[in-house]
Amino acid sequence: MSQPIHMNAGPLGRIDIVPTGGKLSVTPASALMVRAVGSSVAMLAGSGIDWGTGSGCIAIAAARIPAVESIVGIDVLPADVAAATANARRNRVSAVASFIQADVFAPGDESGAAVLEELKEATGFLTANPPASPDGDGLGWRRKVLAGARRFLVEGGPALVQISYQYGMARIEGLVDDVPGYRYCGIAATTGWVPFDLGRSDLARQLVQYAAEETRGGQPYVFRHPEQELEMTAAAALEHHRATGSSPLSKWQAHLYVYEPG
Ligand SMILES: C[S@@+](CC[C@H](N)C(=O)[O-])C[C@H]1O[C@@H](n2cnc3c(N)ncnc32)[C@H](O)[C@@H]1O
Protein backbone atom coordinates (compact mmCIF):
# COMPACT_ATOMS: atom_id res chain seq x y z
CA MET A 1 0.00 0.00 0.00
CA SER A 2 1.28 3.58 -0.78
CA GLN A 3 2.18 5.91 2.05
CA PRO A 4 -0.51 8.45 2.96
CA ILE A 5 -0.23 11.94 1.48
CA HIS A 6 -0.79 14.73 4.00
CA MET A 7 -3.25 17.33 2.77
CA ASN A 8 -3.88 20.72 4.38
CA ALA A 9 -7.54 21.51 5.01
CA GLY A 10 -6.79 24.85 6.72
CA PRO A 11 -8.89 25.26 9.89
CA LEU A 12 -10.08 21.64 9.50
CA GLY A 13 -6.55 20.38 10.06
CA ARG A 14 -4.53 17.80 8.17
CA ILE A 15 -6.04 14.84 6.39
CA ASP A 16 -4.10 11.71 5.46
CA ILE A 17 -4.99 10.24 2.08
CA VAL A 18 -3.75 7.06 0.46
CA PRO A 19 -4.12 7.62 -3.32
CA THR A 20 -6.44 5.34 -5.24
CA GLY A 21 -3.66 3.79 -7.32
CA GLY A 22 -4.22 5.92 -10.43
CA LYS A 23 -1.19 8.06 -11.35
CA LEU A 24 -3.15 11.31 -11.03
CA SER A 25 -5.46 10.34 -8.21
CA VAL A 26 -4.32 13.23 -5.98
CA THR A 27 -3.27 16.34 -7.91
CA PRO A 28 -2.68 20.05 -7.22
CA ALA A 29 -6.38 20.53 -8.10
CA SER A 30 -7.32 18.03 -5.34
CA ALA A 31 -5.13 19.95 -2.86
CA LEU A 32 -6.77 23.23 -3.84
CA MET A 33 -10.27 21.77 -3.38
CA VAL A 34 -9.37 20.45 0.08
CA ARG A 35 -8.19 23.96 0.98
CA ALA A 36 -11.36 25.44 -0.57
CA VAL A 37 -13.48 23.27 1.75
CA GLY A 38 -11.41 24.58 4.69
CA SER A 39 -12.09 28.16 3.69
CA SER A 40 -15.82 27.56 3.10
CA VAL A 41 -16.67 26.15 6.52
CA ALA A 42 -19.37 28.76 7.19
CA MET A 43 -21.37 27.84 4.09
CA LEU A 44 -21.23 24.02 4.11
CA ALA A 45 -23.91 22.39 6.27
CA GLY A 46 -26.39 19.53 6.38
CA SER A 47 -26.10 16.70 3.83
CA GLY A 48 -23.59 17.04 1.00
CA ILE A 49 -22.58 15.26 -2.20
CA ASP A 50 -18.98 15.08 -3.39
CA TRP A 51 -19.19 14.24 -7.10
CA GLY A 52 -16.25 12.28 -8.60
CA THR A 53 -14.84 11.63 -5.17
CA GLY A 54 -11.73 9.62 -6.21
CA SER A 55 -9.63 9.15 -3.07
CA GLY A 56 -12.41 10.85 -1.05
CA CYS A 57 -10.14 13.73 0.01
CA ILE A 58 -12.72 16.50 -0.53
CA ALA A 59 -15.53 14.57 1.16
CA ILE A 60 -13.28 13.72 4.09
CA ALA A 61 -12.32 17.39 4.59
CA ALA A 62 -16.02 18.38 4.44
CA ALA A 63 -16.90 15.65 6.97
CA ARG A 64 -14.74 17.48 9.53
CA ILE A 65 -17.09 20.50 9.47
CA PRO A 66 -19.30 20.31 12.58
CA ALA A 67 -22.42 21.53 10.70
CA VAL A 68 -22.05 18.80 8.06
CA GLU A 69 -24.30 15.91 9.11
CA SER A 70 -23.43 13.60 6.21
CA ILE A 71 -21.59 13.62 2.93
CA VAL A 72 -21.89 11.03 0.16
CA GLY A 73 -18.99 10.67 -2.26
CA ILE A 74 -19.93 9.38 -5.72
CA ASP A 75 -17.54 7.76 -8.16
CA VAL A 76 -17.95 5.63 -11.26
CA LEU A 77 -14.99 3.41 -10.33
CA PRO A 78 -15.63 0.76 -7.65
CA ALA A 79 -11.90 0.84 -6.76
CA ASP A 80 -12.17 4.56 -5.96
CA VAL A 81 -15.24 3.93 -3.80
CA ALA A 82 -13.24 1.31 -1.88
CA ALA A 83 -10.19 3.60 -1.54
CA ALA A 84 -12.32 6.53 -0.37
CA THR A 85 -14.09 4.32 2.18
CA ALA A 86 -10.71 3.21 3.58
CA ASN A 87 -9.47 6.83 3.65
CA ALA A 88 -12.57 7.93 5.58
CA ARG A 89 -11.82 5.21 8.15
CA ARG A 90 -8.18 6.32 8.30
CA ASN A 91 -9.31 9.89 9.08
CA ARG A 92 -12.04 8.73 11.52
CA VAL A 93 -14.93 10.32 9.64
CA SER A 94 -16.78 7.15 8.56
CA ALA A 95 -19.78 8.12 10.68
CA VAL A 96 -20.27 11.19 8.45
CA ALA A 97 -18.69 10.32 5.07
CA SER A 98 -19.89 7.38 2.98
CA PHE A 99 -19.29 6.46 -0.64
CA ILE A 100 -21.34 4.91 -3.44
CA GLN A 101 -20.70 3.83 -7.00
CA ALA A 102 -22.66 5.77 -9.62
CA ASP A 103 -22.20 6.84 -13.22
CA VAL A 104 -22.77 10.60 -13.23
CA PHE A 105 -25.74 10.43 -10.78
CA ALA A 106 -27.07 7.01 -11.89
CA PRO A 107 -26.51 4.60 -8.99
CA GLY A 108 -24.83 1.24 -9.58
CA ASP A 109 -26.95 -0.77 -7.15
CA GLU A 110 -30.06 -0.67 -4.99
CA SER A 111 -28.40 0.63 -1.86
CA GLY A 112 -26.83 3.48 -3.86
CA ALA A 113 -30.23 4.17 -5.40
CA ALA A 114 -31.79 4.42 -1.93
CA VAL A 115 -29.06 6.83 -0.75
CA LEU A 116 -29.50 9.10 -3.77
CA GLU A 117 -33.29 8.99 -3.52
CA GLU A 118 -33.03 10.34 0.05
CA LEU A 119 -30.78 13.15 -1.15
CA LYS A 120 -33.22 14.45 -3.80
CA GLU A 121 -34.07 18.09 -3.06
CA ALA A 122 -32.43 17.57 0.35
CA THR A 123 -28.74 18.13 -0.39
CA GLY A 124 -27.32 21.18 1.38
CA PHE A 125 -24.18 21.47 -0.77
CA LEU A 126 -22.17 19.97 -3.61
CA THR A 127 -18.42 19.70 -4.03
CA ALA A 128 -16.85 18.56 -7.31
CA ASN A 129 -13.46 18.29 -8.97
CA PRO A 130 -14.68 16.79 -12.26
CA PRO A 131 -12.42 15.49 -15.02
CA ALA A 132 -11.62 17.75 -17.97
CA SER A 133 -13.78 16.79 -20.93
CA PRO A 134 -11.73 15.46 -23.83
CA ASP A 135 -13.76 17.40 -26.39
CA GLY A 136 -15.33 20.83 -26.92
CA ASP A 137 -14.07 23.56 -24.58
CA GLY A 138 -13.12 21.10 -21.80
CA LEU A 139 -15.93 22.10 -19.41
CA GLY A 140 -18.52 19.53 -20.53
CA TRP A 141 -18.21 17.47 -17.34
CA ARG A 142 -18.72 20.58 -15.19
CA ARG A 143 -21.94 21.35 -17.09
CA LYS A 144 -23.14 17.75 -16.73
CA VAL A 145 -22.43 17.71 -12.98
CA LEU A 146 -24.09 21.09 -12.32
CA ALA A 147 -27.11 20.05 -14.42
CA GLY A 148 -27.48 16.71 -12.60
CA ALA A 149 -27.04 18.30 -9.18
CA ARG A 150 -30.17 20.42 -9.67
CA ARG A 151 -32.27 17.36 -8.73
CA PHE A 152 -30.49 17.14 -5.39
CA LEU A 153 -29.64 20.61 -4.11
CA VAL A 154 -31.92 22.57 -1.82
CA GLU A 155 -32.66 26.13 -2.88
CA GLY A 156 -29.69 28.31 -1.88
CA GLY A 157 -27.36 25.30 -1.73
CA PRO A 158 -23.75 26.10 -2.68
CA ALA A 159 -21.80 24.14 -5.30
CA LEU A 160 -18.04 24.37 -4.92
CA VAL A 161 -16.51 23.42 -8.28
CA GLN A 162 -12.87 23.19 -9.33
CA ILE A 163 -12.24 25.19 -12.52
CA SER A 164 -8.79 26.50 -13.33
CA TYR A 165 -7.94 30.10 -14.27
CA GLN A 166 -7.08 29.39 -17.91
CA TYR A 167 -10.73 28.76 -18.83
CA GLY A 168 -11.28 32.51 -18.48
CA MET A 169 -13.90 34.35 -16.43
CA ALA A 170 -16.33 34.69 -19.37
CA ARG A 171 -16.56 30.91 -19.72
CA ILE A 172 -16.57 30.30 -15.94
CA GLU A 173 -19.34 32.86 -15.23
CA GLY A 174 -21.12 31.71 -18.41
CA LEU A 175 -21.76 28.26 -16.91
CA VAL A 176 -24.88 29.75 -15.28
CA ASP A 177 -26.26 30.51 -18.76
CA ASP A 178 -25.34 27.04 -20.02
CA VAL A 179 -26.92 25.42 -16.95
CA PRO A 180 -29.81 27.62 -15.78
CA GLY A 181 -30.72 27.58 -12.09
CA TYR A 182 -27.43 28.78 -10.60
CA ARG A 183 -25.97 32.15 -9.63
CA TYR A 184 -22.23 32.60 -9.95
CA CYS A 185 -20.77 33.82 -6.65
CA GLY A 186 -17.03 34.13 -7.28
CA ILE A 187 -13.73 32.47 -6.45
CA ALA A 188 -13.76 30.38 -3.27
CA ALA A 189 -10.03 29.55 -3.28
CA THR A 190 -7.06 30.00 -5.55
CA THR A 191 -3.38 29.24 -5.81
CA GLY A 192 -0.91 31.84 -7.07
CA TRP A 193 0.61 31.47 -10.54
CA VAL A 194 1.81 27.91 -11.06
CA PRO A 195 3.07 26.13 -14.17
CA PHE A 196 0.38 24.45 -16.25
CA ASP A 197 2.78 21.55 -16.31
CA LEU A 198 3.03 20.37 -19.91
CA GLY A 199 5.23 17.51 -18.72
CA ARG A 200 1.87 16.00 -17.63
CA SER A 201 0.47 14.24 -20.69
CA ASP A 202 -3.15 15.05 -19.72
CA LEU A 203 -2.40 18.80 -19.51
CA ALA A 204 -0.40 18.70 -22.76
CA ARG A 205 -3.44 17.12 -24.48
CA GLN A 206 -5.73 19.74 -22.95
CA LEU A 207 -3.63 22.62 -24.30
CA VAL A 208 -3.90 21.19 -27.85
CA GLN A 209 -7.66 20.81 -27.33
CA TYR A 210 -7.99 24.44 -26.12
CA ALA A 211 -6.05 25.75 -29.13
CA ALA A 212 -8.39 23.77 -31.43
CA GLU A 213 -11.41 25.28 -29.62
CA GLU A 214 -10.00 28.79 -30.20
CA THR A 215 -9.54 27.96 -33.92
CA ARG A 216 -13.22 26.91 -34.04
CA GLY A 217 -14.13 30.39 -32.78
CA GLY A 218 -14.53 29.55 -29.07
CA GLN A 219 -13.64 32.09 -26.36
CA PRO A 220 -9.88 32.52 -25.96
CA TYR A 221 -8.23 30.78 -22.99
CA VAL A 222 -6.21 32.90 -20.59
CA PHE A 223 -2.73 31.74 -19.62
CA ARG A 224 0.12 33.81 -18.22
CA HIS A 225 3.44 33.97 -20.06
CA PRO A 226 6.08 32.00 -18.09
CA GLU A 227 8.70 34.77 -18.27
CA GLN A 228 6.81 38.02 -18.83
CA GLU A 229 3.78 39.76 -17.31
CA LEU A 230 1.63 38.99 -20.33
CA GLU A 231 -1.55 37.05 -20.99
CA MET A 232 -1.43 34.34 -23.63
CA THR A 233 -4.12 32.47 -25.53
CA ALA A 234 -3.89 28.68 -25.71
CA ALA A 235 -2.56 28.94 -29.28
CA ALA A 236 0.20 31.32 -28.16
CA ALA A 237 1.04 29.14 -25.14
CA LEU A 238 1.27 26.08 -27.40
CA GLU A 239 3.54 27.87 -29.85
CA HIS A 240 5.77 29.14 -27.03
CA HIS A 241 5.98 25.65 -25.54
CA ARG A 242 6.95 24.13 -28.90
CA ALA A 243 9.66 26.77 -29.32
CA THR A 244 11.10 26.85 -25.79
CA GLY A 245 9.82 23.79 -23.89
CA SER A 246 8.40 26.01 -21.11
CA SER A 247 4.96 25.65 -19.63
CA PRO A 248 2.59 28.63 -19.41
CA LEU A 249 1.25 29.68 -16.00
CA SER A 250 -2.25 29.31 -14.62
CA LYS A 251 -3.94 29.08 -11.21
CA TRP A 252 -5.83 26.17 -9.68
CA GLN A 253 -9.13 27.57 -8.48
CA ALA A 254 -12.42 26.64 -6.86
CA HIS A 255 -15.53 28.59 -7.88
CA LEU A 256 -18.77 29.00 -6.03
CA TYR A 257 -22.20 28.62 -7.66
CA VAL A 258 -25.44 28.83 -5.67
CA TYR A 259 -28.54 26.91 -6.72
CA GLU A 260 -31.35 29.42 -7.17
CA PRO A 261 -34.08 27.86 -9.34
CA GLY A 262 -36.87 30.00 -10.79
C1 LIG B 1 -10.31 14.85 -11.36
S2 LIG B 1 -10.72 13.38 -10.50
C3 LIG B 1 -11.05 14.06 -8.88
C4 LIG B 1 -10.92 13.07 -7.77
C5 LIG B 1 -11.06 13.68 -6.37
N6 LIG B 1 -12.34 14.30 -6.17
C7 LIG B 1 -9.95 14.68 -6.12
O8 LIG B 1 -10.23 15.88 -6.15
O9 LIG B 1 -8.80 14.26 -5.95
C10 LIG B 1 -12.34 13.05 -11.16
C11 LIG B 1 -13.06 11.85 -10.60
O12 LIG B 1 -14.30 11.71 -11.30
C13 LIG B 1 -14.58 10.34 -11.44
N14 LIG B 1 -15.51 10.16 -12.56
C15 LIG B 1 -15.21 10.15 -13.89
N16 LIG B 1 -16.30 9.89 -14.61
C17 LIG B 1 -17.33 9.72 -13.74
C18 LIG B 1 -18.71 9.39 -13.90
N19 LIG B 1 -19.24 9.15 -15.10
N20 LIG B 1 -19.48 9.32 -12.79
C21 LIG B 1 -18.94 9.52 -11.55
N22 LIG B 1 -17.63 9.79 -11.35
C23 LIG B 1 -16.83 9.90 -12.42
C24 LIG B 1 -13.22 9.71 -11.69
O25 LIG B 1 -13.22 8.31 -11.43
C26 LIG B 1 -12.33 10.52 -10.75
O27 LIG B 1 -12.21 9.90 -9.50
**pLDDT at residue 103 tops 80:** yes
Lowest mean pLDDT among 12-26, 71-85, 144-158, 186-200: 12-26
Distance 113 CA to ligand 1 centre (A): 19
Q: Integer distance in angstroms from the first to the last C-alpha of the chain? A: 49
CA–CA dist 186, 161 (Å, integer):
11
- Ligand 1 atom closest to the Cα of residue 54 is 27
**pLDDT at residue 24 tops 80:** no
- Ligand 1 atom closest to the Cα of residue 53 is 6
**pLDDT at residue 1 tops 70:** no
Helix (H, G, I), strand (E, B) or coil at 233: coil
Is 79 a pocket residue for ligand 1 (Cβ < 6 Å)? no
Instruction: State residue 20's pLDDT score.
Output: 84
Q: Which domain holds residue 241?
A: 196-249
Specify whether 182 is located in the same domain as 210. Answer: no
Specify whether 144 is located in the same domain as 230. Answer: no
Specify whether 103 is located in the same domain as 34. Answer: yes
Specify whether 99 is located in the same domain as 118. Answer: yes
Specify whether 120 is located in the same domain as 222. Answer: no
Q: pLDDT confidence of 64, banded at 50, 70, 90?
A: very high
Is 157 a pocket residue for ligand 1 (Cβ < 6 Å)? no
Specify whether 130 is located in the same domain as 225. Answer: no
CA–CA dist 211, 164 (Å, integer):
16
Q: What residue type is assigned to position 6 of the chain?
A: H
- Ligand 1 atom closest to the Cα of residue 103 is 20
Specify whether 165 is located in the same domain as 102. Answer: yes
Specify whether 114 is located in the same domain as 235. Answer: no
| 15 contacts 37 by C-beta, under 8 angstroms | no
CATH of the domain at 76: 3.40.50.150
Number of domains in the chain: 2
Specify whether 156 is located in the same domain as 220. Answer: no
